[in-house]
């Protein structure tokens, strides 16, 4: 979507975005396109959030997002440079079951992490900075925001660092984490508190020899596994035989607090049954996603408190997909920019109220 000159906002405004998942990055990009340069605070060492990869000596595993589809024109436009640069590519696998019929499936190259890395290009993302608290600062008119994040002292001990001041705040985290930061905004919190994310146990398997299966990926309706995929069938991957299996949401909930060793053994047994193989892996590791897919997304796109200039976005606002996360973030970014533009037009006394 081409932006009109009137959509641009003074770059004197500062906005903090908490979380560099796909929604946080999309929000930051939407702001940057409108002339506001946001600062993104991310607790981990890479962008992309659940669009993640685990690197091992055998090669990478996409243990979160498996693939993404692209239906919206704005999402397609944001991805066009990544596609041209080979950072994402279609995944032409042998699917045992049809999912997302008629939609091309895309993946990051050489791993799913390339999607977040590509969208983060040109954005000021501060890594390894977990945000712990947000605070309204009343010494400025209109009130602004500061945030506290974990930092390190000279001996690498944790230290609380205050950042700010910001004219607006965006929280781009799963709903439970969002609520933890929203104690000052009960009205927003009420809108979010019933959104439920389901967990997912993921199993990463590496084999010395290729498995003889007639498919590369399958969505499953069984009680234990909901998905298996030959990760090494994705484009631009290192050769080798690497698989990712996801447990169903119901099974993951039931076994949420189990010992990872037990989970590994149970999911490996299920994997052998589904693939009708008995090959023993040379690498078998599980990862627990506490928040995986949203069960009951809001139908709002994003939440925004215009009075306090604080909002939240994420897949949970509109659907359990990468594309939903992107659209949620970019629409909130446009809303924040428009609120800041409105603020700049108000007389000083009115904006102080
Ligand atoms: C196992 C699994 C499989 C999936 N499969 C698919 C699929 O095949 N296709 C699909 O389209 N979608 C899939 N999804 C869903 C997809 O991952 C999400 O819809 C999307 O990635 C959500 O992006 P987000 O930005 O809303 O949230 P997130 O990706 O959760 O991003 C939140 C970010 O905030 C950071 N963060 C958290 N707390 C803090 C803090 N206090 N301070 C600073 N940073 C913080 C996190 O590190 C993270 O980077 C899958 C998800 C999982 C877990």
| Atom number of ligand 1 nearest to Cα 66 | 8
Percentage of the chain surpassing pLDDT 70?
94
Give the distance (Å) from ligand 1 centre to CA of residue 143: 31
Average pLDDT of span 225-242: 97
Rounded to the nearest angstrom, the gap between the alpha carbon of residue 181 and the centroid of all alpha carbons in its chain is: 18
| Atom number of ligand 1 nearest to Cα 69 | 11
Query: Which residue has the CA at smallest separation from atom 5 of ligand 1?
Result: 65
Render pLDDT for 290-321 as a digit per residue (tens, 0 to 9): 999 999 999 999 999 999 999 999 999 999 99
Residue 233: pLDDT above 70?
Answer: yes
| Atom number of ligand 1 nearest to Cα 131 | 42
Enter the CATH code of domain 54-112+197-295: 3.90.660.10
Residues paired with residue 301 on neighbouring β-strands, in sequence order: none
User: Which pLDDT value is given to residue 164?
Assistant: 83
219's CB contacts (< 8 A; 6+ apart) are 97, 99, 226, 227
Query: Which residue has the CA at smallest separation from atom 4 of ligand 1?
Result: 65
The pair of structure tokens assigned to 208 is 């010395």
Query: Which residue has the CA at smallest separation from atom 29 of ligand 1?
Result: 49
Answer yes or no: are the C-beta atoms of 333 and 13 closer than 8 Å: no
List all residues whose CB is within 6 A of at least one atom of ligand 1. 18-24, 41-44, 49-51, 64-68, 130-131, 172-174, 177, 200, 202, 246, 289, 292-293, 314-315, 320-322, 325
Helix (H, G, I), strand (E, B) or coil at 268: helix
Give the distance (Å) from ligand 1 centre to CA of residue 42: 12
Distances (CA, A) of 321 to 34, 66, 304, 344: 25, 11, 21, 35
Answer yes or no: are the C-beta atoms of 57 and 226 closer than 8 Å: no
Render pLDDT for 13-38 as a digit per residue (tens, 0 to 9): 999 999 999 999 999 999 999 999 89
User: Which pLDDT value is given to residue 125?
Assistant: 98
Answer yes or no: are the C-beta atoms of 297 and 197 closer than 8 Å: no
Answer yes or no: are the C-beta atoms of 192 and 172 closer than 8 Å: no
Give the distance (Å) from ligand 1 centre to CA of residue 82: 19
What are the phi and psi torsion angles at 303 (to 5°)? -120, 145
323's CB contacts (< 8 A; 6+ apart) are 68, 69, 70, 71, 72, 75
Helix (H, G, I), strand (E, B) or coil at 336: helix
Residue 98: pLDDT above 70?
Answer: no
For a pocket test of ligand 1, which of 50, 111, 295, 326 has the largest count of ligand atoms closer than 8 A to its C-beta?
50
User: Which pLDDT value is given to residue 159?
Assistant: 87
C-alpha torsion 79→84→87→89, nearest 10: 80
Average pLDDT of span 221-240: 95
Helix (H, G, I), strand (E, B) or coil at 290: strand
Residue 329: pLDDT above 70?
Answer: yes
For a pocket test of ligand 1, which of 19, 119, 229, 292 has the largest count of ligand atoms closer than 8 A to its C-beta?
19
Residue 261: pLDDT above 80?
Answer: yes
The residue assigned the tokens 């590519």 is 89
| Atom number of ligand 1 nearest to Cα 246 | 1
Answer yes or no: are the C-beta atoms of 225 and 274 closer than 8 Å: yes
CB atoms within 10 A of CB 167: 22
| Alpha-carbon gap, residue 302 to 312, rounded angstroms | 6
Residue 272 pLDDT class (50, 70, 90 cuts) = very high
Render pLDDT for 180-218 as a digit per residue (tens, 0 to 9): 999 888 889 999 999 999 999 999 999 999 999 999 999
Give the distance (Å) from ligand 1 centre to CA of residue 52: 8
| Alpha-carbon gap, residue 232 to 244, rounded angstroms | 10
Render pLDDT for 32-82 as a digit per residue (tens, 0 to 9): 999 998 999 999 999 999 999 999 999 999 999 999 999 999 999 999 999
Residue 353: pLDDT above 50?
Answer: no
> For residue 114, which of 139, 76, 87, 96 has the smallest C-alpha distance?
87
Residue 338: pLDDT above 90?
Answer: yes
The pTM of the full predicted model, rounded to 2 decimals, is 0.95
Answer yes or no: are the C-beta atoms of 150 and 132 closer than 8 Å: yes
Give the distance (Å) from ligand 1 centre to CA of residue 174: 7
Give the distance (Å) from ligand 1 centre to CA of residue 151: 23
In terms of phi and psi (left: phi > 0; alpha: psi -120 to 50; beta: otherwise), the region of 173 is: beta
**Domain range list for the chain:** 5-47+120-196+299-344, 54-112+197-295
Query: Which residue has the CA at smallest separation from atom 17 of ligand 1?
Result: 50
Give the distance (Å) from ligand 1 centre to CA of residue 51: 6
Could you tell me which CATH class the domain 5-47+120-196+299-344 is placed in?
Answer: alpha beta
Give the distance (Å) from ligand 1 centre to CA of residue 133: 20
């Amino acid at each position: 979507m081409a932006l009109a000159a009137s959509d641009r906002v003074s770059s004197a405004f500062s906005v903090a975005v908490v979380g560099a998942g796909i929604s946080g990055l999309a929000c930051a990009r939407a702001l940057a396109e409108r002339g506001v340069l946001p600062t993104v605070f991310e607790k981990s060492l890479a962008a992309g959030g659940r669009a993640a990869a685990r690197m091992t000596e055998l090669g990478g595993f996409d243990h979160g997002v498996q693939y993404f589809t692209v239906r919206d024109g704005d999402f397609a436009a944001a991805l066009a440079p990544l596609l041209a640069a080979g950072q994402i590519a279609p995944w032409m696998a042998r699917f045992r079951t049809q999912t997302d019929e008629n939609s091309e499936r895309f993946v990051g190259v050489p791993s799913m992490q390339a999607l977040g890395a590509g969208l983060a290009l040109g954005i000021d993302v501060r890594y390894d900075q977990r945000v712990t608290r947000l605070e309204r600062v009343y010494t400025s008119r209109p009130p602004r925001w500061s945030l506290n994040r974990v930092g390190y002292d000279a001996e690498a001990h944790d230290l609380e660092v205050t950042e700010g001041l910001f004219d607006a705040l965006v929280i781009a985290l799963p709903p439970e984490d969002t609520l933890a930061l929203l104690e000052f905004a009960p009205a927003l919190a009420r809108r979010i508190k019933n959104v439920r994310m389901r967990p997912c146990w993921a199993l990463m398997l590496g084999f010395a020899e290729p498995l003889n299966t007639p498919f590369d990926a399958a969505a499953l309706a069984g009680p234990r596994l909901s998905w298996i995929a030959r990760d090494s069938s994705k484009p631009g991957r290192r050769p080798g035989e690497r698989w990712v299996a996801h447990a169903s949401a119901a099974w993951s909930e039931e076994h949420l607090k189990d010992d990872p060793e037990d989970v590994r053994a149970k999911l490996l047994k299920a994997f052998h049954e589904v693939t009708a193989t008995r090959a023993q892996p040379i690498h078998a590791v599980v990862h627990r996603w506490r928040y995986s897919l949203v069960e009951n997304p809001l139908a709002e796109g994003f939440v925004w408190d215009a009075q306090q200039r604080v909002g939240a976005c994420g897949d949970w606002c509109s659907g359990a997909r990468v594309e939903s996360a992107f659209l949620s973030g970019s629409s909130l970014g446009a809303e924040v920019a428009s609120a800041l533009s409105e603020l700049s037009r108000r007389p000083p006394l009115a904006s102080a109220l």
